[in-house]
Structure 1
Amino acid sequence: MNETIASDELGLATEAPAELRYTRRIEDLPGPKGQPFVGNALQLSGRQMHQKFTAWVREFGPMFRLQVFGHTIVIVSDAATAHSVMRERPDGFRRNGGLKQIMNELHIGGVFTAEGAAWRKQRKLVMSGLNAEVIRNFFPTMVRLTERMLERWKRALAEGRAIDLRRDLKCMALDTIVGIAMGHDIDAVNQDGDPLQRDIDNMFQRLGNRTTAAFPYWRYFKLPVDRAAERSFADIETRVTEFIHHTRERMEQQRHLQRKPANMLEAMIAASEDPESEFTDEELVANAILSVIGGEDTTANSIAWMLCLLAQNPAAAAALAAETDLVLGDAPLPREWEQMKAFPYLEAAHSETQRLKAVAPYLGLTANADCVVADTFIPKNTAIIVATAGEGRDEAQFPGHERFRPERWVAELREPEEEDPSRKLFPFGGGSRLCPGRFLALTEIKVVVAMIMRNFELEPDPTAPPAKELLNFFMAPSSVPVRLKLRVPPAGELR
């Protein structure tokens, strides 16, 4: 892909390249027929918008165009083009302006919406809090939180009580992200109606509804739900500010935490207090809030979808249970950091889950300058949507694409004619703006899912409503129709 790295918005040079070579323009691309004035806007509204993208990819191919209120949007889904676009961030492409505006209206910003020099500075701040050393230092706490969930579920089964997996997984993810991000144990798992959980759910509900709305009504009048979202943000900001205050006090008393931070907030505070960092308290608060909001839903949804698919595919569940038995021995869950490298089938099950149920099914970008994408001329400020799950349902790329088959991700188990699929999907994005929390998310997924498969059998719950795909900014299941049943220990094993 050829393009300039220019952008008036970023304050960079604006000279156009000497020549852009291409054979087609946007108007040459296919696309669905729209309606007068609104174009395809009404077709994109609603909480299944990502499913419409996938259907259009099948109908119009890996690159097509839409019209929304007179503005052109280009959709790309093939892996090669998507990777080339994401590699050019942040210089060649920036976040979609509409998404940034919506997030800023809800006071959700930080590194996610920053661009140019501001992004580079904040990226350094966030990465200091999510590097491998910080996550390794937090690992014993993650193990303790997972043990607490295990005991909760065992008690529930012993007492004949139903387990609400959707609720518990979200609470477990919240406990984990608040633990590593803030250094506090709020024990949402054992507290019904935790206010922070409620406020985060409220924020995601508004964010999802606004990003999929056909018309931005809230800029002209606000409904009670919009005012409730504003109160939720204020409550989240107050809670996070308190966490930061208490953490600073603790770090003053325990100076070794400056050198060896045990959680993300300690690491970010240590980085922000470097005189050369130029980090502001506002940036610290914004990114701390972003880490809590972003880290809760993605991990919980990923695990929930994986359990749904494993319950429907007993052979895959049995293979994963066998792997956890082999790795863990007599232990009920992973307790050693080195074990995180010993779950190839679990990693494959996660990749297969993201192929079928991508938690982040699309990514919105805007061209900073005239450029060429897949031999197509893209004018400056054109919106591009990368359908991250586009090729995941392509039969040519994934034979038997409707089947949940983790084996396709394991070289030793893959069919001889199958290609390595690792470069065909990008659940954590790509390029320099790759999700900074991916290592934490994968570690938590391994610990929690290994605990579940070691101790329980998964059964479809015929009494529960089916899991529908709902787009609340991230793609979540409407329910988790899975029942846990205590596993019978293998012969000779004491549990």
Structure 2
Amino acid sequence: MNSTTEASELSAENLGELKYSRTIADLSGPKGLPFLGNALQMSGRQWHLSLAKWVREFRPIFRLTVPGGSVVVVSDRATAGALLRERPEQFRRVGGLKTIMNELNISGVFIAEGDDWRKQRKLVMGGLNAEVIRNFFPKMSFMAERMLRRWKTALAEGRPVDLRRDLKAFALDVTVGIAMGHDLDVVNHDGSQLQRDVDNMFQRLGARAFALFPYWRHFKLPADREADKSAANIEQTVAGFIRNTRARMEQQPHLRQKPTTMLEAMIAASDDPESGFTDQDLINNAILSVIGGEDTTANTMAWMINLLAQNPDAASALAAEADAVLDDAELAHDWEMMKQFPYLDAAHNETQRLRTVAPFIGIVSNADCVVADTFVPKNTAIMVSTAGEGLDEAQFPQNDAFLPERWIFDQKPQKEDDPARKLIPFGDGPRLCPGRFLALTEIKLVISMVMHNFELEFDTHAPPIQQIMNFFMSPSAVPVRLKLRS
């Protein structure tokens, strides 16, 4: 193995069989407080900014101290990728996160481990493969056109466009459409209860994941009771999707052999007594698909629009590309157009480098192992920085600047020089994000539509945009006005 060595059978007496030159105690790291260590610095909605600062200072591997032990942080791409590729055998998700998600009725493939994960992963991937997304693309394009009509109507009537809200609504429409086979049109329903419930769940997840003390297990604040209510609402909504889909499949038996949505595939599997896929697995993954597909994609598009609005040269270059590809069409209706946006791809990569919505992945070692020449005992928490090398000035000069051109080459670069190999925004290995292809398609469709139809005007009088960690990292605002292009 490149950066880790399995040692599940080693005891304290024969640790010498592992080859390493240091232990976690030998690693450098930021100073902490007596007893608490770095715990206070690792709490709150912006603590990931402290992590980014530490990555710049202590990379490629360092330690944080917390009550009861240490957390190892890895930021170089080679080691980070090797760790993630060795899941789930050698590493698992952080147990505390799994408990917190279960408390909010969020389960399924995201927090499953071992054989249970393999079983559920196969079913989820079947509903998100390239063929399914390609077949769904005409509906996705229709949803994007519907949002375009909403924006043009608002501008014609002199009303502002709430980009942050509408991007979340669009992402939710797409997720429910491809996973459940239902068109909710959340974009045109400002008071959507489902969108409020999903947003509420992410806020509670973020608050609990970075809390110093799990107070909600002893007493609940109004926000916690509201989160419980949102969890119940989402489950009820998903149960309705399941009932309707089962009824449709009874009327159309061929859907059991050729399902057209993720939910149909999961129902067909759960009804097979030999699959081992239970009704609870069905419910859990259906809920997860509704919740998981909204926040990451919408926040990436929001960050991208913010960055383009603040960088007119990049915005002009992307608008020119969108004009050349789309020509007289308002947006892409042809799936093949998705392959014709190299500058948009570059702008997305640069957005992920500067504002990745998942800046770290927490894992735990299943056995004693060696990570980057460091002995790591069993059950050690490890934090993988997904954009660690993206924060390195030596590898990305003008590190804080938004420069999509750094991702464009006349010839494909050598492996060691390829910037795309230095970031892992969707993770790596077997647990690579199953929705990444869907997310990339949404982003290309919407951003090309925006740049082809509108100019972006950044509100220079707006308060500074904050990076807020609500489980995933989101912008505090999108202070960008749309202006129709002539």
What range describes the TM-score normalised by the shorter chain of this pair? over 0.9
Task: Write the distance in 1 (CA, Å) between the matches of 2:94 and 2:267.
Answer: 30
Code of the residue aligned with 1:48 in structure 2: it is Q
> Aligned to 1:314, which of 308, 312, 330?
312
Q: Tell whether 2:384 aligns with 1:398.
A: no
In structure 2, what is the equivalent of residue 44 of structure 1? 42
Code of the residue aligned with 2:103 in structure 1: it is E
Code of the residue aligned with 2:262 in structure 1: it is M
In structure 1, what is the equivalent of residue 467 of structure 2? 469
Q: Tell whether 2:208 aligns with 1:206.
A: no
In structure 2, what is the equivalent of residue 133 of structure 1? 131
Task: Write the distance in 2 (CA, Å) between the matches of 1:406 and 1:413.
Answer: 16
User: CA contact under 8 A between 2:4 and 2:82: conserved in structure 1?
Assistant: no
User: CA contact under 8 A between 1:26 and 1:376: conserved in structure 2?
Assistant: yes
In structure 2, what is the equivalent of residue 190 of structure 1? 188
1:141 Cα deviation from its structure 2 partner:
0.8
Code of the residue aligned with 1:123 in structure 2: it is R
Match runs of 1:222-301 below 5 Å: 222-301=220-299
User: CA contact under 8 A between 1:135 and 1:263: conserved in structure 2?
Assistant: no
Match runs of 1:61-72 below 5 Å: 61-72=59-70
Q: Deviations over 1:281-329 (max 9, x none)?
A: 1111111111111110001000000000011111111111111111112
In structure 2, what is the equivalent of residue 333 of structure 1? 331
Alignment coverage as a number of residue pairs: 480
Code of the residue aligned with 2:179 in structure 1: it is A
1:49 Cα deviation from its structure 2 partner:
1.3
User: CA contact under 8 A between 2:7 and 2:18: conserved in structure 1?
Assistant: no
In structure 2, what is the equivalent of residue 431 of structure 1? 429
Q: Deviations over 1:134-157 (max 9, x none)?
A: 111211110110010000000011
Compared CA separation, residues 134 and 268, structure 1 to 2 (3 A): farther
Comparing 37-46 with 363-372, which one deviates more in the overlay?
Answer: 37-46
Code of the residue aligned with 1:176 in structure 2: it is V
1:222 Cα deviation from its structure 2 partner:
1.5
Q: Tell whether 2:390 aligns with 1:389.
A: no
Q: Tell whether 2:88 aligns with 1:90.
A: yes
Match runs of 1:347-366 below 5 Å: 347-366=345-364
User: CA contact under 8 A between 2:7 and 2:369: conserved in structure 1?
Assistant: no
Task: Write the distance in 2 (CA, Å) between the matches of 1:408 and 1:195.
Answer: 42
Code of the residue aligned with 1:193 in structure 2: it is G
1:180 Cα deviation from its structure 2 partner:
1.0
In structure 2, what is the equivalent of residue 31 of structure 1? 29
1:6 Cα deviation from its structure 2 partner:
4.6
Match runs of 1:74-223 below 5 Å: 74-223=72-221
Task: Write the distance in 2 (CA, Å) between the matches of 1:88 and 1:471.
Answer: 27
* TM-score (structure 2 length as normaliser): 0.95
Give the root-mean-square deviation of aligned CA atoms.
Answer: 1.9
User: CA contact under 8 A between 1:407 and 1:413: conserved in structure 2?
Assistant: no
1:275 Cα deviation from its structure 2 partner:
4.2
Q: Deviations over 1:88-120 (max 9, x none)?
A: 111010001111111112121111111000000
In structure 1, what is the equivalent of residue 5 of structure 2? 3
Other structure's SS at 1:112 match:
coil
In structure 1, what is the equivalent of residue 457 of structure 2? 459
Code of the residue aligned with 1:339 in structure 2: it is M
User: CA contact under 8 A between 2:467 and 2:475: conserved in structure 1?
Assistant: yes
Other structure's SS at 2:65 match:
strand
User: CA contact under 8 A between 1:57 and 1:77: conserved in structure 2?
Assistant: yes
1:414 Cα deviation from its structure 2 partner:
9.6
Task: Write the distance in 2 (CA, Å) between the matches of 1:300 and 1:273.
Answer: 34
User: CA contact under 8 A between 2:4 and 2:372: conserved in structure 1?
Assistant: no
Task: Write the distance in 1 (CA, Å) between the matches of 2:408 and 2:426.
Answer: 19
> Aligned to 1:484, which of 479, 482, 485?
482
Other structure's SS at 2:362 match:
strand
1:59 Cα deviation from its structure 2 partner:
2.0
User: CA contact under 8 A between 1:3 and 1:369: conserved in structure 2?
Assistant: no
Q: Deviations over 1:361-406 (max 9, x none)?
A: 0100000000000000000000000011222121011111111111
1:279 Cα deviation from its structure 2 partner:
0.8
User: CA contact under 8 A between 1:30 and 1:60: conserved in structure 2?
Assistant: yes
Task: Write the distance in 2 (CA, Å) between the matches of 1:237 and 1:412.
Answer: 50
Code of the residue aligned with 1:398 in structure 2: it is F
Task: Write the distance in 1 (CA, Å) between the matches of 2:270 and 2:409.
Answer: 43
Please list every run of 5 or more consecutive structure 1 residues that lacks an aligned counterpart in the other structure. 8-15, 489-495
User: CA contact under 8 A between 1:137 and 1:263: conserved in structure 2?
Assistant: no
Task: Write the distance in 2 (CA, Å) between the matches of 1:303 and 1:329.
Answer: 22
Task: Write the distance in 1 (CA, Å) between the matches of 2:252 and 2:448.
Answer: 35
Code of the residue aligned with 1:30 in structure 2: it is S
User: CA contact under 8 A between 1:467 and 1:477: conserved in structure 2?
Assistant: yes
Task: Write the distance in 2 (CA, Å) between the matches of 1:175 and 1:482.
Answer: 23
Code of the residue aligned with 1:326 in structure 2: it is A
* TM-score (structure 1 length as normaliser): 0.94
Task: Write the distance in 2 (CA, Å) between the matches of 1:270 and 1:412.
Answer: 48
Q: Deviations over 1:388-428 (max 9, x none)?
A: 12221210111111111111112229999x93101100110
Other structure's SS at 2:483 match:
strand
Task: Write the distance in 2 (CA, Å) between the matches of 1:235 and 1:414.
Answer: 49
Match runs of 1:413-432 below 5 Å: 419-432=417-430
1:5 Cα deviation from its structure 2 partner:
7.5
Other structure's SS at 1:270 match:
helix
Code of the residue aligned with 1:250 in structure 2: it is R
User: CA contact under 8 A between 1:2 and 1:20: conserved in structure 2?
Assistant: no
1:347 Cα deviation from its structure 2 partner:
1.1
Please list every run of 5 or more consecutive structure 2 residues that lacks an aligned counterpart in the other structure. none
In structure 2, what is the equivalent of residue 493 of structure 1? none
Task: Write the distance in 2 (CA, Å) between the matches of 1:126 and 1:414.
Answer: 33
Comparing 396-405 with 376-385, which one deviates more in the overlay?
Answer: 396-405
Other structure's SS at 1:111 match:
coil
Task: Write the distance in 1 (CA, Å) between the matches of 2:57 and 2:419.
Answer: 23
